[in-house]
Structure 1
């Protein structure tokens, strides 16, 4: 419904369900909560709801890295299956305690999947796309040789008032020296060849 005003009076005018198509607008894409591009072929977000599935299809994802211990909902599993998306689950418990750390070994396993460009384009997500996702992205930034202040700034932009010192300490102390990687193998410095058609 739209509102029309006539000399101070407000009247509701019903619209047809196809009004977007009638105006040539086409389908609307709704990204998941806290969605952002991390790097070429790497995206992050909060938990994708069905309203975001069309948007995710436009990314032509090959993989999803799911960082929660809960089972992936049936509707999300069906979406992934029908779109040929492989789901990698790394169950990291939600921790609100100030001195409970993200498990180092689980992050290392997730990084192995994330750094493998055969899995790109990939979406990383947890429930809200703040803490667990932020820690994994922060570790990627360390591999990319970002300075800590920039890593923390990015983390805080997503976590906002809920930023955790324990997460930042985890990222600061995370040792990347024994990870087998090529730091710029998926960086913005290279053009991503799997382009999106608009």
Structure 2
């Protein structure tokens, strides 16, 4: 079938003399599409060196700048954003902001929580050792205090971050439970629990190096104060300590003497969640 026959068939289907734009482009013509200043597209066909008006539906027939059907918006972006003119090209983030008015918060760095991060109770969190890349996340969380269980001196960059943002540091140097000679001291855990149970220190983040064993022991003892069953406590411990859960840690949680905690607690500032105290 020749192109002329195809055009005649198209005319006969709707009874009009209008021709679909795609059918009006023959092999000896070239099609050019470019944006105008108002965001609309202009379509031109060229035959033997001169412009040939595009045939379109409706009253726009014969115009070389007839509007195409309105393009659907993409998340409310304007047409000139979707097809920017070469003379006004600019960095993409700046271009989007200037044409949409989206707030700059969209372009802030991604907030990255520390590894093994989780909420223990309202305004009490746990994690591995926070790195510099985690600092914006801690600020967004509104952390007021950090309770660390490491033995080593706190890193200089972390101390600087805490000072600049008014965050208090509580350090309870606790060795890990490693058979046969190293045990976690109960008095140190009791003092750490008293710090956790003072709501004036909230929001507070607990961490050791990996947020697994020492942190797991402290959280496990806190769970006993919260009336958790040992089955649930050990399940939570193993969730964070896997794949290297320690039997000694679970034994420490089970045998920890809660009587060590009571004398250290200020009952006027207990958090509003159930405890044995």
Class of the TM-score when normalised by the shorter of the 2 chains: 0.7 to 0.9
2:271 paired residue among 179, 186, 191: 186
Aligned residues: 171
Deviates more, 1:59-68 or 1:86-95: 86-95
1:45 aligns with 2:127: yes
**Higher relative contact order (Cα pairs below 8 Å, separated by 6+ residues):** 1
Check the 8 A contact 2:198/2:271 in 1, yes or no: no
Greater C-alpha radius of gyration: 2
Match of 2:173 in 1: 91
Pairing of 1:103-118 with structure 2 (within 5 A)? 103-118=185-200
Between the aligned partners of 2:195 and 2:92, the Cα distance in structure 1 is 42
Classify the secondary structure of the residue corresponding to 1:88.
Answer: strand
- Whole-angstrom CA distance in 2 between matches of 1:98 and 1:151: 24
Q: Quick one: distance in 2 between partners of 1:88 and 1:132?
A: 15
Q: Which residue of the partner structure matches residue 155 of structure 1?
A: 237
Match of 1:143? 225
Q: Measured at CA, do residues 99 and 29 of structure 1 come closer, stay the same or move farther in structure 2, by a change above 3 Å?
A: same
1:55 to 108, 113, 137: 137
Whether 2:152 is the aligned partner of 1:70: answer: yes
What is the root-mean-square deviation in Å for CA atoms of aligned residues? 2.3
Q: CA deviation at 1:103?
A: 1.1
CA contact (8 A) 1:35 1:43 kept: yes
Instruction: State the Cα deviation string for residues 40-89 of structure 1 (Å, max 9, x = none).
Output: 01000000000000000011111110100100000000111111111011
Residue 177 of structure 1 aligns to a residue whose secondary structure is helix
Higher helix residue share: 2
The Cα shift of 1:100 comes to 3.2
TM-score (normalised: structure 1): 0.79
Asked whether the equivalents of residues 40 and 187 of structure 1 are also in contact (C-alpha less than 8 Å), the reply is: no
- Deviation, structure 1 residue 161: 1.4
**Dislocated runs of 4+, deviation >6 Å:** 16-19
Rate the CA distance shift 1:25–1:107 in 2: closer, same or farther, 3 A.
same
Gaps spanning 5+ residues in structure 1: where? 1-15, 190-198
In structure 2, stretches of 5+ residues that fail to align are: 1-90
2:214 to 124, 127, 132: 132
Instruction: Give the C-alpha shift of residue 97 in structure 1.
Output: 2.7
